Chain A
């Protein structure tokens, strides 16, 4: 199976999720979420989307969200073991010389807790990186395209259902 088909099959799996049933009886009604993105505006958009009352897929779930704008802040807090970490791949877009990117952050996170659920977001659709990270235990890799928010909602819903 090509990497593209592999990824598409993962995406379609989310689109098939029975979100209505999940809304009625999520396994977890509250999720602790970390958002890690160096773009503060985008981190706020993600937070707003997840907690928005107009987001019907995630209705019924409450969230505690912590936002970090660099890897160090995130890594200093992973002892809190959030239910999911939403991690941007590209954390050095503001040219911070000390910045490390999402793949390196992910490796450090799973060194601490190999069961930590991490969802990586990126516009970088380089299949070799995706495959490598998924093999290492990355929960999901979501490409920043038109379906990104829908896919993200589906993944969060699955995590709430403990799938």
Chain B
């Protein structure tokens, strides 16, 4: 099993190679990311910029430790510009990029969890 959209090395470098611990962290990322992603979309559609910033901040950590730096950087940018009216124009493109990959990454994470538990 070779994940394409995230890098387990990011977490193994920190936690060592304890499968039990890695599974625990990945399960929480899987469980915790979806509801916040839904809030992110809702807040974007309703232009709740401070809440959008908070959601991006939360998800940013998860993607950092999934080892997906592209998604991490998208979220970091959304977090940084969401309260800046002059830069907010970039958010739609970033949200499109993020949404286009989110479900795929989460799906791959689920598959990887099954693989780890075998």
Contacts and interface: CB of A to CB of B under 8 A. Distances in A.
Contact of B58 (A39, A45, A49, A54): A39
Interface string A90-107: 101111000000000000
B54 A92 contact: yes
A105 to B, nearest CB: 16
Contacts of A41: 25-26, 28-29, 32, 61-62, 65
B36 interface: yes
Bin chain A's interface residue count. 20 to 34
Nearest to A44: B25
Contacts of B39: 94-95
Nearest to A42: B61
A52 B14 contact: yes
A158 to B, nearest CB: 20
A28 interface: no
A27 interface: no
Given A45-B11, A52-B14, A39 B61 contact: yes
B21 to A, nearest CB: 5
Contacts of A53: 16
Contacts of A54: 15-17
B18 to A, nearest CB: 7
Interface string A30-54: 0000000011111011001100111
A5 B111 CA distance: 46
A49 B25 CA distance: 12
26 contacts: A38-B58, A41-B26, A41-B32, A41-B62, A41-B65, A42-B62, A44-B25, A45-B11, A48-B14, A49-B14, A52-B15, A52-B18, A54-B16, A55-B16, A92-B54, A93-B36, A93-B55, A93-B58, A94-B36, A94-B39, A95-B39, A95-B54, A123-B57, A123-B60, A123-B76, A144-B61
